[in-house]
Amino acid sequence: MRLLAAAFSVVIASAAIAAGVPDHFVWPIPAWMPPPPVPDDNPMTAAKVELGRHLFYDARLSADNTIACASCHAQKLAFTDGRELAVGINGTVAFRNAPSLANVGYFPLVTWANPHVGSLEFQALIPIFGDNPEEMGLNGKENEIFARLRADPFYAEAFPEAFPERPDLDLFTVTRALGAFQRTLISVNSSYDRFKYAGEKNALSDAAKRGEQLFFDHRFECYHCHTGIHFTNNLQTSRSAFAETGMHNTGLYNIGGTGDYPRQATGMIEFTGAPSDMGKFRTPSLRNVAVTAPYFHDGSARTLRDVIDHYAAGGRTIKDGPYAGIGARSPYKDGMIAGFQPTDKEIDDLVAFLESLTDEDFLSNPAYSDPWPAGHPATIERVSP
Ligand code: HEC
Ligand code: HEC
């Protein structure tokens, strides 16, 4: 499987540079995995993916040339940043933790809590233009910055190649290229996958096998929400009859009404206004979770053990620091977060299972890496968590 993954990345790379050859995109996935859905207005091509990769790693896409998408979404951390809360231009701190982008093309809803963000093309506008918080700070400066990028010899060729019908570098083509690249970020080659789908009986340790039993057990209940191929009930493949979208209150905060509360506590209610959506957040995938600490939308759990302690206690039982209310007592808490009493060994086993979801090939696949040469103006001082 390792070799197979290496071969896939070569397929992407070589297709992108095969000048004059019709641009057939090959998904970097094994046969058992259906590809993610692709929007009609953004068909996949290797040229577009390669362009999107350059944009993803280009710090010139920010107001002061310091922040690229990759600043907050670093490959070796499964496209997270290792911080509690993300940090944008001028040191602006965001309200939320940067989620992993592994398999992001399969999520019908993106972002932690907004039920209206249903596409990668739309999502990209948030970090680029958002001013609350300011992540890349392009609002009002897009013409100047797009002009700067158009002057780059790479883009002067790559945009017409990727978009023969609409060769200009504009918001439509930039967000389409970013979306196409992100749809290729597919991670399905963990030890657990090799054990479960490729019949490698020794790919999983005994501890991880015991942890798998616990994960799918009624006492722990993890699998009710972290279900299916990507361990989330937020899933759509190109073969799905419908999109599954799971949002839950997992007992992190306990606040109600419309009073003053920290913004990180609100969840889906911020977008729907419905009281029952208070504290509801999207179920994240657990693939590569061992490298995406700290956890939860507010980055409040440092380790996987902390996460399991949270569930075992039936939600947050402390009310210190920025936390509003005792989360475990929230009336909106999902019934599945009832608490349980694990032994130390059970926690170790569950952690071993979660660690078996790490896909080393994904974290080092050259097809997802920074394409810009060292010292190029696109490059950034990478965040080193
Ligand atoms: C300053 C850090 C930062 C930068 C820069 C940034 N992001 Fe993010 N990203 C985040 C945070 C934080 C979230 C979660 C936001 C939320 O849910 O409110 C996020 C969420 C996402 C999501 C949703 C993933 C999911 O599964 O919910 C995608 C996709 C994404 N970012 C792509 C990008 C792209 C593309 C760029 C560059 C155009 C980018 N990001 C730039 C921090 C950042
Ligand atoms: C009722 C649904 C539900 C159940 C049951 C559940 N989870 Fe979660 N899980 C979620 C949601 C929703 C989040 C995001 C919470 C947030 O950040 O506000 C989450 C977050 C996580 C995270 C953090 C991931 C990240 O990227 O930050 C981990 C790890 C996790 N869950 C593991 C587990 C384990 C292990 C169990 C079983 C003990 C479990 N979950 C049970 C819904 C659930």
Token digits for 104?
């992001």
79 with 173, same domain: the answer is: yes
Distance 23 CA to ligand 2 centre (A): 40
65 with 149, same domain: the answer is: yes
pLDDT digits 0-9 by tens, 115-154 = 999 999 999 998 888 877 788 888 888 888 899 899 999 9
Using a 10 angstrom Cβ sphere, with 0-12 exposed, 13-18 middle and 19 or more buried, the burial of residue 309 is: middle
106 with 49, same domain: the answer is: yes
22 with 170, same domain: the answer is: yes
240 with 326, same domain: the answer is: yes
Token digits for 306?
């902390």
How far is Cα 303 from Cα 351, in angstroms, rounded to an integer?
10
How far is Cα 112 from Cα 153, in angstroms, rounded to an integer?
37
166 with 47, same domain: the answer is: yes
Domain harbouring 291, CATH code: 1.10.760.10
**Quick check: is 115 in a domain?**
yes
**Quick check: is 106 in a domain?**
yes
Which residues fall within 8 angstroms of residue 183, CB to CB, at 6 or more apart?
A: 36, 38, 44, 49, 104, 105, 120
**Quick check: is 207 in a domain?**
no
Q: How far is CA 236 from the centre of its chain?
A: 15
Distance 284 CA to ligand 2 centre (A): 7
According to the model, what pLDDT value does residue 142 have? Answer: 86
Q: Which ligand is nearest to the CA of 71?
A: 1
**Quick check: is 203 in a domain?**
no
pLDDT bucket at 321, cuts 50 / 70 / 90: low
Q: How far is CA 55 from the centre of its chain?
A: 17
257 with 290, same domain: the answer is: yes
At residue 145, the 3 state secondary structure works out as helix
Ligand 1 pocket by C-beta < 6 Å: which residues?
67, 69, 71-73, 86-88, 94, 96, 98-99, 101, 104, 107, 110-112, 120, 123-124, 127-128, 135-136, 178, 182
How far is Cα 378 from Cα 42, in angstroms, rounded to an integer?
25
**Quick check: is 282 in a domain?**
yes
**Quick check: is 205 in a domain?**
no
Closest CA to 351 of 385, 309, 313, 300: 309
pLDDT bucket at 17, cuts 50 / 70 / 90: very low
Q: Name residue 301's beta-bridge partners.
A: 295
Distance 2 CA to ligand 1 centre (A): 29
Its domain, for residue 137, covers 2-187+360-368
**Quick check: is 200 in a domain?**
no
The residue written with tokens 């990759």 in the block is 70
What is the count of structural domains for the chain?
2
**Quick check: is 7 in a domain?**
yes
10 with 142, same domain: the answer is: yes
How far is Cα 226 from Cα 284, in angstroms, rounded to an integer?
8
Q: What is the CA radius of gyration of the chain?
A: 21
Distance 268 CA to ligand 2 centre (A): 16
Q: At what angle do helices 171-183 and 46-56 cross, to 10 degrees?
A: 100
- Global pTM value: 0.93
Atom of ligand 2 nearest to the CA of 267: 18
pLDDT at 319 over 90: no
Q: Which ligand is nearest to the CA of 283?
A: 2
Token digits for 26?
């090959």
Ligand 2 pocket by C-beta < 6 Å: which residues?
220-222, 224-226, 248, 250, 252, 281, 283-284, 286, 289, 292, 295-297, 304, 307-308, 311, 334, 336-337, 350
At residue 175, the 3 state secondary structure works out as helix
According to the model, what pLDDT value does residue 260 have? Answer: 60
Which residues fall within 8 angstroms of residue 321, CB to CB, at 6 or more apart?
A: none
pLDDT digits 0-9 by tens, 237-285 = 999 999 999 999 999 998 765 556 677 778 999 889 888 899 999 999 9
Q: What percentage of the chain exceeds 70 in pLDDT?
A: 90
Distance 336 CA to ligand 2 centre (A): 11
According to the model, what pLDDT value does residue 226 have? Answer: 98
177 with 322, same domain: the answer is: no
Token digits for 348?
């170790």
Distance 288 CA to ligand 2 centre (A): 14
